[in-house]
Amino acid sequence: MQELQKRLEELEGEFLKTYEKLGIEAKLEQQMKLEKEVAEPDIWKNVEEATAKNQELARLQDETQPWELMKTQIEDLKELVGIADEGLKDEMSGQIEAMEKELTEMKKALRFQGEYDGKDAIMRITSGAGGTEAMDWAGMLERMYLRFFERRGWKVACLERVVGEEAGIKTAVYEVSGANAYGWLKSEHGVHRLVRLSPFNANNLRQTSFALVEVLPVIKADTEVEIDDKDLRIDVYHSGGHGGQGVNTTDSAVRITHLPTNTVVAIQNERSQHQNKEKAMEILRGKLVQMQLEQHASTIGELRAGESAGWGQQIRNYVLQPYKLVKDTRTGYEDTDPDAVLDGKIDGLIEAYLES
């Protein structure tokens, strides 16, 4: 039993060290505070604030629950090891081994210590120059990410999607909700390059296509990112559907321009003008935060126009011809099965980025 006690002590030590690094105690205090706030009947007088607080509470509960559960399991096992006979040794050894493996997985949360890593994410996919071939490539990336989200069990909401005339998409915008969604997906921000024999080329020549993937943290509260109203221009216009048809008869589409950086966000769908404005502001806050990270600026006021990475930062090559290879240009990580990658198995690429 001494061997089991030693293993359990080592497990507990590693657990407590990680527990402290992740600030679980502070997160539990925040969770208790939110639980009291959402229990107040008056909270629903402001639906948006109530929704945001409930979402934050659910996120915190998902994050802290595994740590509280393991804490209890370790305490219970410590007591059991102290009083159990040799006949239970194998069973307890198996329990400790399972907990050791689980802790190894839980410790991966240490990679998400960035200010916005715990946030949900906005992903925007835009086809590059090259017509149908480029739009098809953007559509392939869209499918790849949707498969990845599905595998992780994340919630996905389509905010905007413009299809290509023949194939693929011109652009698509998704809001992705899941544990550390931004922390996981920030690795995908940049230009993705495809090399293949084009099915849209009469001569079946090898062709190179590009698509831009933008990943932004979801920042719902304006208190997190302060934007001066005088720096904004807000335009309202008719929503447009496919073939020029009106989605509705009101001016519900919203375009917001952040004048100092010339950053533009436009949202049009079947929501109300107010909802479109809220969503556009949410995306704008994310865009400005992303620019802050790229420009190493301490405040929004320090941002400079035209200095975001945009189309200049190529992060990954997907080669289907004359050989098969996916290579990340930042980490050097390679995968020789692009078909699996394009089916959403991008974990290796992301893990390599997070470990770099």
What's the CATH number where 101 sits? 1.20.58.410
Kind of pairing between the strands at 325-328 and 169-177: unpaired
Please, which residues bridge with residue 232 across strands?
A: 258
Distance CA 189, CA 157 (A): 19
Q: Is residue 69 assigned to a domain?
A: yes
Is 149 found in the same domain as 273? yes
Q: pTM of the predicted model, to two decimals?
A: 0.75
Q: How far is CA 15 from the centre of its chain?
A: 26
CA distance linking residue 281 with residue 232, whole number of Å:
10
Give DSSP secondary structure letters for 213-259. Answer: EEEEE----TTTS---GGGEEEEEE--B-GGG-BS-SS--EEEEEET
Strand partners, 193: 210, 317
Closest CA to 24 of 67, 70, 73, 71: 67
Domain boundary among 111, 142, 174: 111
The residue among 111, 132, 151 that closes a domain is 111
Residue corresponding to tokens 């240009």: 329
Selection from 342, 313, 311 nearest residue 326 by Cα: 342
Longest dimension (CA), the chain: 77
Helix (H, G, I), strand (E, B) or coil at 119: coil
| pLDDT value, residue 105 | 86
pLDDT at 101: 93
Tens of pLDDT along the chain (356 residues)?
688 888 999 999 999 999 998 889 999 999 999 999 999 988 888 887 888 888 889 888 988 999 999 999 999 988 888 776 777 778 888 999 999 999 998 888 888 888 889 889 999 999 998 889 999 999 999 999 999 999 999 999 998 888 988 899 999 999 999 888 999 999 999 999 999 988 887 777 788 999 999 999 988 766 677 788 888 999 887 766 543 333 444 567 889 999 888 888 888 775 677 788 888 888 888 888 888 888 877 777 777 665 555 667 899 999 998 899 999 999 999 999 999 999 999 999 999 999 88
| Helices marked H in 107-227 | 131-152, 181-185
Q: Which of 111, 145, 164 is the last residue of a domain?
A: 111
Does residue 355 fall inside a structural domain?
A: yes
Q: Are residue 97 and residue 174 in the same domain, yes or no? A: no
Q: Which residues, 6 or more positions from 32, have their beta carbon under 8 angstroms from its beta carbon? A: none
Whichever domain contains 261, its CATH number is: 3.30.70.1660
Statement to judge: residues 207 and 265 lie in one domain: yes
Residue 64 included in any domain: yes
Domain extent, residue 8, equals 2-111
For residue 272, the model assigns a pLDDT of 76
- In the structure encoding, which two tokens stand for residue 226, read together? 């302060």
Let me know whether 198 and 314 are in one domain: yes
Answer yes or no: is 117 within a domain: no
Q: What kind and span of H or E run contains 94?
A: helix 89-106
- Total of domains in the chain: 2
What radius of gyration do the chain's Cα atoms show?
24
Residues 213 and 98 in one domain: no
